[in-house]
Structure 1
Amino acid sequence: MSTETSTTTSIPIETSLSPEAAQVVAENLQPTLTELIDLALTGKQLHWAVVGPRFKPVHEHLDELVDEHREYSDTVAEYMSTVGICPDGRAVRVAGDHTMDPVDAEFMDDAAVIDAMTARIKTVVTNIRERSGRVAAVDTAAEDLLIEVIRVLDKQLWMTSAQR
């Protein structure tokens, strides 16, 4: 699966980024986009599959997480478009770039669901922390966006792990 992201278009997108800066931004925002989409999809799968004595609060909490993952994946994708980078949120791209093992398509105890979601959020926020440093020198707006996503995911990590 190709991990390239197009920074060119036959329809000119005016941007203040140099082509070199746009490439660095593309290389760091595209994986962020695919990870956020994957978090939303995984969260929804776990939302459907959770069972156990804490079913209802975990089920509802997962909906809140999914909503935020979807919101921020859209924000990241729209920023990419804004600076002339075509975002790729297709299922084939998300599946192809997937670095974490998928959750099983089976009912899961609420504690296992909390552990699975906690681990995934931690992995993604750690990855985004690394990316924010890489974009800092070329695009402070992209860095700021990633910092915002880090804040949201860190709060999710706290709120999710506290349910253990």
Structure 2
Amino acid sequence: MSVKYTVPGLSTDQVTEIITSLQKRLSAYNDLHLTLKHVHWNVVGPHFIAVHEMIDPQVELVRGYADEVAERIATLGGSPQGTPGAVINDRTWDDYSVGRDTAIAHLGALDLVYNGVIEDNRKAIELTGDLDPITEDMLIGETAELEKFQWFVRAHLEDIGGRLSTSGAGSESAATDAARVEG
């Protein structure tokens, strides 16, 4: 990537590092909003309507985050890549593996998806903290909302004692199995 100009106060080397990190966030957000829509279309069972309706606001907000990140990349002098190929090239995660299944099974898998996105966002926040507080602030706000959405998901997976049914699950299939047993 070759940056020809950037915002005042940042060098092209700094901006290249920030844009590289933001491009990964853009791809993660594009993947997440498609995954959320997939869940929305494929939930079944007694909790269908609650989860079906809970997901759409998350989809819209995450789509907005993708737009916000892409516009920040452009503001910094970069060229955001929003194609399916960019998502695949930037992926450090597996494709979402759950098809038509119960709402509780999808929520178990979705909890792990949120873990990955939030952990990677926190790494991007750490990187941008010293370089660009404007980008850091944007990522902090987005991450706070993603953490709230994860709380919504986890509320369905939590027992009265505060234990998550998916605690310790290392894969989406393990999380869906654990959620089904407890749900």
TM-score normalised over the length of structure 1: 0.89
Q: 1:117 aligns with which of 110, 114, 120?
A: 110
1:98 aligns with 2:91: yes
Q: Which deviates the most, 146-155 or 92-101? A: 92-101
Q: Unaligned regions of 5+ residues in structure 2, if any?
A: 158-183
- Residue 61 of structure 1 corresponds to 54
For 1:153 and 1:85, the matched residues in 2 are separated by 25
- Residue 160 of structure 1 corresponds to 153
- Residue 171 of structure 2 corresponds to none
- Residue 22 of structure 1 corresponds to 15
Please identify runs of 4+ aligned residues in structure 1 that moved more than 4 A.
Answer: none
Task: Give yes or no for contact 1:7–1:22 (8 Å, CA) kept in 2.
Answer: no
1:41 aligns with 2:41: no
1:8 aligns with 2:7: no
Q: 2:129 aligns with which of 115, 125, 136?
A: 136
Task: Give yes or no for contact 2:6–2:12 (8 Å, CA) kept in 1.
Answer: no
Give the deviation of 1:106 after TM superposition. Answer: 2.7
The amino acid across from 2:7 in the alignment is T
Equivalent pairs, count:
156
1:87 aligns with 2:76: no
Give the deviation of 1:131 after TM superposition. Answer: 1.3
Task: Give yes or no for contact 1:51–1:107 (8 Å, CA) kept in 2.
Answer: yes
Give the deviation of 1:103 after TM superposition. Answer: 2.3
Q: Secondary structure at the match of 1:137?
A: helix
For 1:92 and 1:120, the matched residues in 2 are separated by 20
Give the deviation of 1:75 after TM superposition. Answer: 0.5
Q: Which deviates the most, 128-137 or 100-109? A: 100-109
Name the % identity.
31
The amino acid across from 1:62 in the alignment is I
Which structure: larger Rg? 2
Q: CA deviation digits over 1:99-153, x for unaligned, max 9?
A: 2222236311111111111111121111110111111111111111111111111
The amino acid across from 2:111 in the alignment is T
Task: Give yes or no for contact 1:7–1:84 (8 Å, CA) kept in 2.
Answer: no
Per chain length, whose mean CA-contact separation is higher, i.e. which structure has more relative contact order (CA < 8 Å, sep 6+)? 1
For 2:49 and 2:142, the matched residues in 1 are separated by 27
CA RMSD of aligned residues (A): 1.5
